Chain A
């Protein structure tokens, strides 16, 4: 993984010193809260319902065991012993104090981490495929380009006060595990007819109150032009995006209002004028970055090749966990392991300091000391020997980290909701807990199969309900919470926005409604047909009928 050189380290250390001075000026009264607000936001510090929340960037969702241990240490020392992994592959600490923030940032800098641009109307942390570097059909490791984007976007003088926040996601594989089509810019590595590597560039996706799927404005951009093309898009947006209404300020509205063809023409015209302006991804710099993402020293000699198969046969619980958590690795004898942060009845994405240390130790022991965060709020150990899977599983199980529900109905994405968030109007976590408890039986979950259920506590859609196979939006009506269900959304390479199935449900009926939907699917599915495929074949009518008796 990427390691700072002296330039990276110097910038982050100077940034800590700068913020320390800004906090000092705030605490002394020299800065008003109004003046301080944009400064703290550019360093990831939000004022939430109960306390300051610090959002720490995990660049493209990859971190080392040592970095994870530092997150655990911060959780213990400055928070209440836990942290919350987010849908943007970051971590949030919900109970920090303003006066501690500079020390936390200094601790982070000591392990090459920061909280720069995790908030504010700026280019946020770039996200990536959590299977980067190990997916079998990948063109190149997307994190090489994510790191180039990280550097280009960090303290970019022109793009620090955009009309609205700006999120970029990158995948190197045809299967999209990074939800790139619901980002402001989605980048997919492609090969052209001559085998050259470049990007398909998609713009204007997003969720929130106006969900949209990104549109392709360039089918193939040679990779060396990546940063100049991004700069052209950002400049067109910075100058032309709406600033009169924050709900219409994202780039998706500009693309929609101007029309994708006109928008593309504007970007191409701007790009034609800056493509030679020193932003080329230079080969030497690209190679320097790429060297950090070289594959680890895999062992080609398979150890105990029979042991894994024997354990699978001998231990049904272990076998059930591998069915959910283990994905094929590009290397023979290795596996990609997704660790569920969705225990039955738990808060999606939360991890205690003890669990973080446990993951760090297991990563060091079994996965070359590297960990990834997924946008579905789980963790990934990307290089585990098959023969180590049983020991890994036992280590995870000892800390409540072996729930066998990855990709299943218990693997719910939910925003923090009104339990923490200052924007939320409702509580989203309790309904996630009720659903996860109802479907606690893992055999039933496995029988239901892949099902992405996502819950948002307000229209800002941080819980990604628009792209859930089943989405739930909790809305507040005159002090009572109602639950609006959408079906048919998906965040993969065939991304789609879910459609509202009918009138919203009351609190005591929503979990039953989810069960009705699932039962209808079970009754109507064909052999090996996933929920989303069955829904796309059947359409909404039978689901409506089952829910409202109007079929």
Chain B
């Protein structure tokens, strides 16, 4: 599994912890919402950085008040066709101002690359069949966007009317 962050393939410096697994002191861990709720103080006392993984059934509001204590939020695509994480990503970025790493995990396919990037994801755990080159190509296939989103790219309407 390859990790792409800021358009580069990188070594993953985070550990995805199962709910029962112990957290090594000083490590960077991604835990489920349930574990984070249960063990928030304990984690804060031992690990270096905390990330929370949300499923589609979780609500962004559940972590909104604690975002400044989180360095990473992972949003899950249980199947590429489950699009809830796109809305959750935009809410985290645009409504709650989350500035940490926003990571796409699960069924992350090449042809969804630009949708994810536009919604504010900046890190992607690519499936085994996805090549880095293909991923980067997919990010730049469509240069025009019609709607404002988390990436704050200029929309066609803004480019048409520069005074806006």
A interface with B by C-beta (< 8 Å):
5, 7-8, 10-11, 14-15, 17-18, 21-22, 35, 38-39, 121, 151-152, 154-162, 227, 235, 238-239, 243, 273, 277-279, 282, 284-285, 288
Distance, CA A301 to CA B82, complexed state (A):
59
Q: Would you call A14 and B111 a contact (CB within 8 A)? A: no
The one of A7, A158, A243 that contacts B149, using a Cβ cutoff of 8 Å: A158
Q: Would you call B83 and A160 a contact (CB within 8 A)? A: yes
In the complex, chain A residues whose CB is within 8 Å of the CB of B142: 11, 14-15, 18, 155
Q: Would you call B143 and A278 a contact (CB within 8 A)? A: no
Distance, CA A502 to CA B80, complexed state (A):
44
In the complex, chain A residues whose CB is within 8 Å of the CB of B88: 239
Q: Would you call A239 and B159 a contact (CB within 8 A)? A: no
Main secondary structure of the interface of A (DSSP, over half): helix
What is the minimal beta-carbon distance from A166 to any residue of chain B, in angstroms?
A: 12
B interface with A by C-beta (< 8 Å):
56, 80-84, 86-88, 90, 94-95, 109, 111-112, 114-116, 118-119, 141-149, 155-157, 159-161, 163-164
Most B CB contacts (10 A, CB to CB) among A11, A152, A157, A162 go to A157
Known: A14-B142, A161-B83. 10 other contacts (CB 8 A): A8-B156, A154-B146, A157-B116, A158-B90, A158-B149, A159-B86, A235-B87, A238-B86, A284-B161, A288-B161
Q: Would you call A7 and B144 a contact (CB within 8 A)? A: yes
Q: Would you call B115 and A160 a contact (CB within 8 A)? A: yes
Q: Name A148's closest neighbour in chain B (CB-CB).
A: B157
Distance, CA A278 to CA B159, complexed state (A):
14
What are the 3 A-B residue pairs with the smallest beta carbon separation, nearest first? Answer: A161-B83, A157-B118, A11-B144
Q: Would you call A7 and B82 a contact (CB within 8 A)? A: no
Q: Name A11's closest neighbour in chain B (CB-CB).
A: B144
What is the minimal beta-carbon distance from A275 to any residue of chain B, in angstroms?
A: 13
In the complex, chain A residues whose CB is within 8 Å of the CB of B118: 157
Distance, CA A8 to CA B81, complexed state (A):
27
The one of B81, B86, B163 that contacts A38, using a Cβ cutoff of 8 Å: B81
The one of B95, B144, B161 that contacts A282, using a Cβ cutoff of 8 Å: B161
Distance, CA A35 to CA B143, complexed state (A):
24
Distance, CA A151 to CA B84, complexed state (A):
22
What is the minimal beta-carbon distance from A26 to any residue of chain B, in angstroms?
A: 11
In the complex, chain B residues whose CB is within 8 Å of the CB of A35: 109
Q: Would you call A161 and B148 a contact (CB within 8 A)? A: no
The one of B86, B119, B146 that contacts A151, using a Cβ cutoff of 8 Å: B146
What is the minimal beta-carbon distance from B144 to any residue of chain A, in angstroms?
A: 4
In the complex, chain A residues whose CB is within 8 Å of the CB of B114: 157
Q: Would you call B148 and A277 a contact (CB within 8 A)? A: yes
* 14 residue pairs from A and B, CB less than 8 Å apart: A8-B156, A17-B141, A35-B109, A154-B146, A157-B116, A158-B149, A159-B83, A159-B86, A160-B115, A161-B82, A161-B112, A227-B147, A239-B87, A278-B148
Q: Name A287's closest neighbour in chain B (CB-CB).
A: B161
Distance, CA A227 to CA B107, complexed state (A):
30
Q: Would you call A157 and B149 a contact (CB within 8 A)? A: yes
Q: A17-B141, A162-B83, A277-B148 are in contact. Are A282 and B115 (CB under 8 A)?
A: no
Q: A8-B156, A161-B82 are in contact. Are A22 and B111 (CB under 8 A)?
A: yes
Distance, CA A7 to CA B80, complexed state (A):
28
In the complex, chain A residues whose CB is within 8 Å of the CB of B84: 238-239, 243
What is the minimal beta-carbon distance from B36 to any residue of chain A, in angstroms?
A: 21
What is the minimal beta-carbon distance from B6 to any residue of chain A, in angstroms?
A: 18
Distance, CA A152 to CA B157, complexed state (A):
10
What is the minimal beta-carbon distance from B150 to any residue of chain A, in angstroms?
A: 9
Q: A157-B86, A160-B115, A238-B87 are in contact. Are A285 and B146 (CB under 8 A)?
A: no
The one of A18, A121, A238, A273 that contacts B95, using a Cβ cutoff of 8 Å: A273
In the complex, chain B residues whose CB is within 8 Å of the CB of A121: 81, 83
In the complex, chain A residues whose CB is within 8 Å of the CB of B111: 22, 38-39
Distance, CA A15 to CA B81, complexed state (A):
20
Distance, CA A92 to CA B114, complexed state (A):
28
Q: Would you call B164 and A282 a contact (CB within 8 A)? A: yes
Distance, CA A159 to CA B159, complexed state (A):
23
Distance, CA A162 to CA B86, complexed state (A):
10
Q: A10-B143, A22-B111, A282-B164 are in contact. Are A161 and B156 (CB under 8 A)?
A: no
What is the minimal beta-carbon distance from B159 to any residue of chain A, in angstroms?
A: 7
Q: Would you call A285 and B82 a contact (CB within 8 A)? A: no
Q: Would you call A284 and B86 a contact (CB within 8 A)? A: no
In the complex, chain A residues whose CB is within 8 Å of the CB of B90: 158
Most A CB contacts (10 A, CB to CB) among B84, B109, B147 go to B147
What is the minimal beta-carbon distance from B141 to any residue of chain A, in angstroms?
A: 5
Distance, CA A38 to CA B115, complexed state (A):
14
The one of A11, A155, A161 that contacts B81, using a Cβ cutoff of 8 Å: A161
In the complex, chain A residues whose CB is within 8 Å of the CB of B147: 151-152, 156-157, 227, 279
